[in-house]
Amino acid sequence: MHICVLGAGVIGVTTAWRLLQDGHQVTLIDGRDQAGAGTSLGNGAQLSYSYVAPLADPSVWSKWAYYMFDSESPLTMKPTLDPAQYRWLFEFLRCCNAERVRRTTIDLLQLAFLSRGELTQWSAQLGLQYDHQTSGKLVMYTDPAALEGARKQVQFQSQYGCQQQVLDAAACIAIEPALGKSQRNWAGGVHTPSEEAGDCPQFCRGLVDAMEGQPGFRFITGARVANVRMQAGALRAVQAGNEWVEAERFVLSFGPESPEFARRVGLKLPLYPLKGYSITVPLDDAATRAAAPTVSITDISRKIVYARLGERLRVAGRIELVGMDRGIPQRAVDELKNGVRELFPGCALGEDASLSPWTGFRPATPSGVPIVGASPVKNLLLNLGQGALGWTLACGSATLLADHVAGRRPAIDDSPFRYAA
């Protein structure tokens, strides 16, 4: 079967690989010049298999004023004239209840663990090089009450295969000595030894290189999809640049641009782009390398993550509901730089240009559960909505999609991820 995958971020690339392995002819299309050059490019780099609890949480109700009006809030919203923003927010608030969060967490853990197994297998099979780290993660807390709340979450997740431990500050620093010079008054943290990190765009490019050597694969780059051709309720072809591409099935994985494409085929998607920022700190000298963490770190109160990628440190944060505003304000860069100075003061920070400031849009559903599988358009499949967990959930999502195409029993229960009108 000829299947056309729309979008060459980590979701689209992994989908294309999995379908190619099933013997399908695969055409991959993206408007950028290489794979992983959009939302995947500067993401937080953490593979957070045990940290999948959704943004939609009951605590949102008590913190709403803080999120909306406090300049220190890591989550901000700028009202727009787009009705989709308000529809998404309404559904998001409906999901902020304990039972929904519990169910979502269980479902996402299953998908995350599937994804971890797939990534491990693919990496070993192909020998992919993407600064893969397996040094674990510490989620650090300054608020003792919040740390106790994390203890309850650890106990809950232990029923579903998560191996985590709540530690005091001294024990956390023993695991990651770089935290010993931090200017924060830590209450403690949660240690997850099994967590990983890796350079997502390097992975995407490596996987494309592996596919380029196989028959039946074609990658069309630098070609935005300008038009579609429909017939009898099915998608027959897409116009990529000046070329019309026909296929028996299509997979929509355009990330934050998916709703725009979906409207062309008469489909509404419950997605909204959550804007985030990152910088990448070069660890150019021995002193800076020694001062940087080797364990992945999440500063939970600041909502900033730190991931070691060889001789670089990826620093990412913020969640903004601002539409598709692609600007990078200086305050966002300064916030991330200040985070490095506060936690790892020995890391030398050069000029802003050397830090490769980046912004991207994480395509999120209100509940945080991605949509994988069939759509109301006869031959259009969906693999989207992974939000901030795109890198974490990519390989598992691709496997579920391939199982659906093949008519196989899915590796895990796929019912939570099906499209619902």
Q: What is the pLDDT of residues 304-349, one digit of tens each?
A: 999 999 999 999 999 999 999 999 999 999 999 999 999 999 999 9
Label residues 261-274 b or e (16+ Cβ within 10 Å = b). Answer: bbeebebebbbbbb
> Tokens 């000829």 label which residue?
2
Kindly write down the DSSP assignment for every residue of 86-109, as one continuous string.
Answer: HHHHHHHHHT-SHHHHHHHHHHHH
> How many angstroms separate the CA atoms of 193 and 162, rounded?
10
Residues 55 and 133 in one domain: yes
pLDDT confidence band for 62 (50 / 70 / 90):
confident
Kindly report which listed range (24-33, 69-78, 115-124, 319-328) carries the lowest average pLDDT score.
69-78
Angle at the Cα of 375 from the Cα atoms of 373 and 376, rounded to 5 degrees: 155
Sheet holding 234-240, edge to edge: 225-231, 234-240, 243-246
Q: Count other C-beta atoms under 10 Å from residue 304's C-beta.
A: 24
Q: Determine the pLDDT at residue 61.
A: 78
Side-chain half-sphere exposure of 419, counting CA atoms within 13 A: 22
pLDDT, position 68: 63
pLDDT digits (tens, 9 = 90+) for 152-208: 999 999 999 999 999 999 999 999 999 999 999 999 999 999 999 999 999 999 999
Nearest to 100 by CA among 152, 57, 157, 71: 57
In whole angstroms, give the CA distance from residue 396 to residue 411.
9
Whole-number pLDDT of residue 59: 83
Quick one: 167 and 37 in the same domain? no
| 76 lies in the same domain as 156 | yes
Same structural domain, 150 and 9: no
- Domain residues for 210? 2-41+201-270+367-417
Q: Could you give the CA distance from residue 82 to residue 349 in angstroms, rounded to a whole number?
A: 38
Judge whether residue 364 has pLDDT over 80: yes
Report the pLDDT value the prediction gives residue 65, as an integer from 0 to 100: 67
Region 121-145 average pLDDT: 97
In 21-103, which ranges are E strands? 25-29, 46-47, 75-77
Q: What is the pLDDT of the chain when averaged over all its residues?
A: 95
Q: Are residue 189 and residue 221 in the same domain, yes or no? A: no
- Claim to verify: residue 61 and residue 147 sit in the same structural domain: yes
Q: What is the mean pLDDT of residues 121-128?
A: 96
Residues 25 and 124 in one domain: no
Q: Is the pLDDT of residue 149 over 80?
A: yes
Q: Could you tell me if 187 and 144 are in contact, meaning their C-beta atoms sit under 8 angstroms apart?
A: yes
Whether residue 230 sits in one domain with residue 185: no
154 and 111, same domain (yes or no): yes
Q: What is the mean pLDDT of residues 239-267?
A: 97
User: Are residues 32 and 22 part of one domain?
Assistant: yes
Rounded CA separation 253/10 (Å):
9
Q: In angstroms, rounded to a whole number, what is the distance separating the alpha carbons of residues 221 and 240?
A: 9
Picking from 325, 342, 364, the residue at the C-terminal end of a domain is: 364
According to the model, what pLDDT value does residue 69 have?
Answer: 63
Assign residue 89 the CATH number of its domain: 3.30.9.10
Q: For the chain, what is the domain count?
A: 2
- Find the mean pLDDT for residues 382-409: 98
State the Cα angle at 161 between 155 and 167, rounded to 5°. Answer: 45
Is the pLDDT reported for residue 421 higher than 80? no
| CA gap 295, 159 in Å, rounded | 25
- Of the chain, the percentage scoring pLDDT greater than 70 comes to 98
Residue 141's contacts (CB-CB under 8 Å, 6 or more residues apart) are 147, 150, 186, 187, 188, 189, 190, 300, 301
Token couple for 386: 């992974």
Summarised one tens digit per residue, pLDDT across range 196-243 is 999 999 999 999 999 998 999 999 999 999 999 999 999 999 999 999
Residues 184 and 331 in one domain: yes
Confidence tier at 75 by pLDDT (50, 70, 90): confident
Domain with 391 in it: what CATH number?
3.50.50.60
Q: Are residues 158 and 253 in the same domain?
A: no
Pairing label, strands 304-309, 312-321: antiparallel
